């Protein structure tokens, strides 16, 4: 009899201690894990990303031809400027130079991309690698015409 009474009391306690199922928002712990990046991503990328980046094929063609006009066919997304002091939460606005005269902003998210050492960048990803000890950024982005992914260093 005493055991039955204990089981009934335990069942009543467990039933009365369930969480609020009427909440319309997600649990704050789940939000914190998905809305903000791992601090390690910022720590890894921040010192390397800081600065002005110029498209490798564009610079190579100017060096070869000695003419920015001759390299104009390489001047789509020619440069972008990353100021890591402007990181807000998991995002950073990056100034992008198009065709040597137009400017826009792309959003860099400190969230892991699908490629190794990659972050979400605009409609694509920005991947970090190294050649001869120097950092190389590769921008993987969709091409609307060919429906393929283009890789630009």
pLDDT, tens digit, 9 for 90 and up, residues 59-92? 999 999 999 888 888 878 888 899 999 999 889 9
Task: Using the CB atoms, write b or e for 82-93: b if 16+ within 10 Å.
Answer: beeeebeebebe
pLDDT level of residue 129 (50, 70, 90 thresholds): confident
Q: Tell me if the pTM is above 0.85.
A: no
At 58, phi and psi to the nearest 5? -65, -50
pLDDT at 21: 42
């Amino acid at each position: 009899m005493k055991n039955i009474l204990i089981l009934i009391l335990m069942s009543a306690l467990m039933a009365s201690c369930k969480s609020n199922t009427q909440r319309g928002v997600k649990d704050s712990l789940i939000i914190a894990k998905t809305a903000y990046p791992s601090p390690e991503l910022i720590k890894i990328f921040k010192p390397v990303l800081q600065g002005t980046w110029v498209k490798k094929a564009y610079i190579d063609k100017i060096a070869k031809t000695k003419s920015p006009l001759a390299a104009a066919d390489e001047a789509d997304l020619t440069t972008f400027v990353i100021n890591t002091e402007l990181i807000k939460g998991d995002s950073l606005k990056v100034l992008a130079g198009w065709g040597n005269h137009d400017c826009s902003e792309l959003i860099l998210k400190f969230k892991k991309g699908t490629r190794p050492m990659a972050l979400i960048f605009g409609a694509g990803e920005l991947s970090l690698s190294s050649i001869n000890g120097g950092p190389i950024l590769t921008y993987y982005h969709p091409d609307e015409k060919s429906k393929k992914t283009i890789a630009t260093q």
